[in-house]
Structure 1
Amino acid sequence: MKTLALVMIVKNEEKHLARCLQSVQHIVDDVIIVDTGSTDGTKDIACSFGANVFHFEWVNDFSAARNYALMQSTCDWNLVLDADEYIVNDCKHIIRHFIETNERTIGRIKRIDEFVQNGEKRYAQSYLSRLLPKGVTYVGKIHEQVDSPFPRKNVDVEVYHDGYVYTNKTERNLQLLLEELSQHPTDDYVLYQVGKQYKLLMQFNVAEKYFEESYRLVPLGAWYRHSLVIDYLYTLIANRSFEKGLQVIAQEQKRLHDSPDFHFVCGLFYMDAMFYNMERYAYVFSSIERSFIRCLEIGETDKYDRVRGTGSFLAAYNLGVFYEVTGQMGKAIHFYKQSAHEGYEKASERLKVLRQ
Structure 2
Amino acid sequence: MTIAATLIARNEARCIARCLDSVRPFVDRLFVLDTGSTDGTPELARQAGAEVQHFSWPDDFSVARNRAIKLADADWHLIIDADEHIESGGELLRPWCATGPRLGRVLINHAFDDNAAGAVTVSRSWSTRVIPRGARFEGRVHEQVASALPRERLEIHLGHDGFRDAQLATKQDRNRTLLLRDIAERPDDEYVAYQLGVEAEGRDEYVQACDWYEKALAATPPSATWFHDLLIRLLHSLGQAGRVDDGLALAQGQMEAMHESPDFYFVVGNLALDRAMLDPADALDHWLPLAVTCWERCLEIGEKPQLEGSVAGRGSHLAQHNIDTVRAQLALMGR
TM-score of the superposed pair, with normalisation by structure 1: 0.88
* 8 A contact 2:16–2:41 mirrored in 1: yes
Partner of 2:324: 320
Cα distance in 1, alignment partners of residues 306 and 6 from structure 2: 28
Instruction: Give the aligned partner of residue 332 of structure 1.
Output: none
* Residues in 2 aligned to 1:239 and 1:46: alpha-carbon distance in whole angstroms: 44
What does residue 36 of structure 1 align with? 35
* 2:295 maps to 1:292: yes
Call closer, same or farther: CA 1:92–1:192 in 2, change over 3 Å: closer
Mapping for residues 225-236 of structure 1, pairs under 5 Å: 225-236=227-238
- Equivalent pairs counted in the alignment come to 327
Tell me which residue corresponds to 1:352: none
Deviation at 1:328, TM superposition (A): 8.7
The match for 2:266 is 264
Matching residue's letter, 1:98: W
Residue of structure 1 equivalent to 2:126: 127
Tell me, in whole angstroms, the C-alpha distance in 2 between the residues paired with 1:192 and 1:300: 24
1:9–1:34 contact (8 Å) kept in structure 2 = yes
String of CA shifts for 1:114-153, please: whole Å, max 9, x gaps.
Answer: 1012132111112111111111111100000111122221
State the Cα distance separating 1:75 from its structure 2 match. Answer: 1.8
Give the C-alpha shift of residue 322 in structure 1. Answer: 2.0
Which residue number in structure 1 is paired with residue 141 of structure 2? 142
Alignment correspondent of 2:92:
94
Shift of 1:280: 6.6
- Range moving further from structure 2, 278-287 or 10-19: 278-287
Secondary structure at the residue paired with 1:26? helix
Give CA-to-partner distance per residue, 1:65-102, whole Å, 9 cap, x none.
Answer: 0011011122211001000101122x34311211112x
Using the aligned pairs only, state the percent identity. Answer: 34
| Alpha-carbon RMSD | 1.7
Unmatched tracts of structure 2, length 5 or more:
none
Q: Look up the match of 1:212.
A: 214
Q: Does 1:304 align with 2:307?
A: yes
Match of 2:250 in 1: 248
CA 1:93–1:203 in 2, change beyond 3 Å: closer, same or farther? Answer: closer
Distance 1:160 1:308 in 2: 13
- In the other structure, the counterpart of 1:185 is 187
RCO higher in 1 or 2 (8 Å CA, sep ≥ 6)? 2
Q: Tell me how far apart the structure 2 counterparts of residues 268 and 244 of structure 1 sit (CA, whole Å).
A: 14
For structure 1, the 5+ residue unaligned runs are 330-356
1:120 and 1:88 mapped to 2: Cα distance? 20
**Equivalent residue number for residue 107 of structure 2:** 110
* 1:349 aligned partner: none
SS of equivalent to 1:34: strand
Aligned-partner Cα distance in 1 for 2:173–2:271: 28
Measured in 1, the distance between the counterparts of 2:214 and 2:90 equals 42
Report the alpha carbon displacement of residue 211 of structure 1 after superposing the two structures with TM. 1.1
2:281 & 2:196 partners in 1: Cα distance? 35
